[in-house]
Copies of this chain bind each other. A is one copy, B any other.
Amino acid sequence: MKKFTLKDIATHFKVSVSTASKAINDSHEISEDLKAKIQQYAKDNHYRPNRIALSLLRKNTKTIGVVVPNILNYFFVQVFYGIEKNANARGYNIISCTSDESYLKELKTVELLSAGTVDGLIISLSEETQSKAIYDHLKNYSNGQIPMVMIDRVTDEVDCDKVIVDDFEAGYKTTNYLFETGCKNVAVVSTIFDSSVGKLRIQGYQKALEEKGIAYDKNLNVKVGKKDDLEILMTLLLNYKPVDAIIALDEMTAVDVLNICKQKKVKVPEEVSIVGFTNGRLSKYVSPSLSMVSQHGKFIGETAANMIIDRIEKTDAETLPYTTKVVKTSLIVRESSRKTP
């Protein structure tokens, strides 16, 4: 598995390495004759300049790192897709890592990537990082070394470019939509109550309640932990009050809630409207199909890729002010929510 290098070419033609280099790069300094021979030889031997050496020389890697909490979540897959698309188009590669919602894994990943491996980093915080609120690994990162863009799950404690979803507004609008279609008792079911995103959606929900003059009832804000049984929690919820609308803060939960309702013979949407977050593959296909809030993951990825590359390629990068782009959500109304009061 010996690599084929410039030196091999140089030795073969008994020329210097720099001559070989110039010939490969089609420099006008080299005679046409020699160039042709060297280029042919290089081609025959599948010579590729070593990117590691080039990276060291040019002090860039043409690679951007992406850290997402969970690759099995369709939202992040879409984000990833968007990043890859734009980054590739601009000549960058992606090195992708998962934090698995773990602070430690996130920390290690960030340290690894920060060691010259990538020219910039796109990261969405793990749930554990957000719940522990430890951001040192990212502060140091952005302070000293290379550009960073945070997406979706972000924190104010780190200064950098950000692309976020307008989760507050999404929570607010979704709740209002349910009110407008005649729902009275709107509950929320969340598995991401510890993340910034989950909290903002709840705040939007609370604002809508407030405007409507309805007191916030924490029993209607169902927090589903890793070990909790959603079915039990749902039973408690439905027995607690005549809930007629449920907002599920992620797609899987929306589907689960729907299935539990069906199983309990609760009619959707006649008795209970359901609206979920993240417009992925599932929601369209279940029946009744689910009304969903789309966060436009692909667009977020594209935007983040452009922001990071812009910053990487700006020579006066440090002087650019950090910006935060807010992506609006769209409510996709399907069968699981009532249309009229």
Interface, chain A (partner B; CB < 8 A): 1, 3-4, 45-46, 48-53, 55-56, 59, 61, 63, 71-72, 74, 77-78, 80-81, 84, 88, 93-98, 111-112, 114-117, 140, 144-147, 252, 255, 259, 281-282, 285-287, 317-318
**Quick one: which of B88, B287, B318 contacts A287, CB cutoff 8 A?**
B287
A286 to B288: give the CA distance in the assembly, Å: 10
Instruction: Tell me if A97 and B94 are in contact (CB < 8 A).
Output: yes
Chosen A-B contacts, 6 in total, with CB atoms closer than 8 Å, are A45-B144, A49-B115, A50-B56, A51-B116, A94-B97, A285-B286
Give Cα distance in the complex from A144 to B56, angstroms: 24
Interface centre among A52, A56, A146 (most CB of B within 10 A): A52
Contact: B98 with A95, CB < 8 Å?
no
Partner of A285, one of B52, B71, B255: B255
Known A51-B115, A52-B52; contact A94-B95, beta-carbon cutoff 8 A: yes
Q: Give the distance to chain B from A274, nearest Cβ to Cβ, in Å.
A: 13
Q: How far is the CA of A59 from the CA of B61 in the complex (A)?
A: 16
Residues of B within 8 A of A1 (CB): 145-147, 317-318
Q: Residue on B with the closest CB to A5? A: B116
B51 touches A3 (CB 8 A): no
**Partner of A77 from B77, B112, B255 at Cβ < 8 Å:** B77
Q: Is A93 within 8 A of B112, CB to CB?
A: yes
Q: Which residues of B contact A286 (CB under 8 A)?
A: 285-287
CA distance A155 to B277 in the complex (A): 41
Closest CB of chain B to A300's CB: distance in Å?
16
Shortest CB-to-CB span from A145 to chain B, Å, is 6
Closest Cβ–Cβ distance, residue A10 to chain B (whole Å): 18
Residues of B within 8 A of A285 (CB): 255, 259, 282, 285-286
Considering the complex of A and B, which 8 residue pairs feature the smallest CB-CB distances, nearest first?
A: A48-B115, A50-B116, A95-B95, A51-B115, A52-B116, A96-B96, A52-B55, A46-B140
Task: Determine which of B48, B52, B77, B317 lies in contact with A56 in the assembled complex, contact meaning CB atoms within 8 Å.
Answer: B52
Complex contacts, A93 vs chain B, CB 8 Å: 95, 97, 112, 117
A3: which B residues are within 8 A, CB to CB? Answer: 59, 116, 145
Residues of B within 8 A of A281 (CB): 74, 252, 281-282
Whose C-beta in chain B lies nearest to the C-beta of A48? B115
> How long is the Cα–Cα vector from A84 to B95 in the complex, in angstroms?
11
CB-nearest residue of chain B relative to A56?
B52
| Contact of B94 with A96 in the complex, beta carbons under 8 Å | yes
CB distance from A43 to the nearest CB of B (A): 11
Cβ-closest chain B residue relative to A55: B52
Across-interface contacts of A56 in B (CB, < 8 A): 50, 52-53, 56
Which residue in chain B gives the minimum CB-CB distance to A108?
B88
With A53-B116, A96-B95 as known contacts, state yes or no: A111 contacts B48, CB within 8 Å.
yes
Known contacts A95-B95, A286-B287: does B71 contact A80 (CB below 8 Å)? yes
A61 to B286, alpha carbons, bound, how many Å? 45
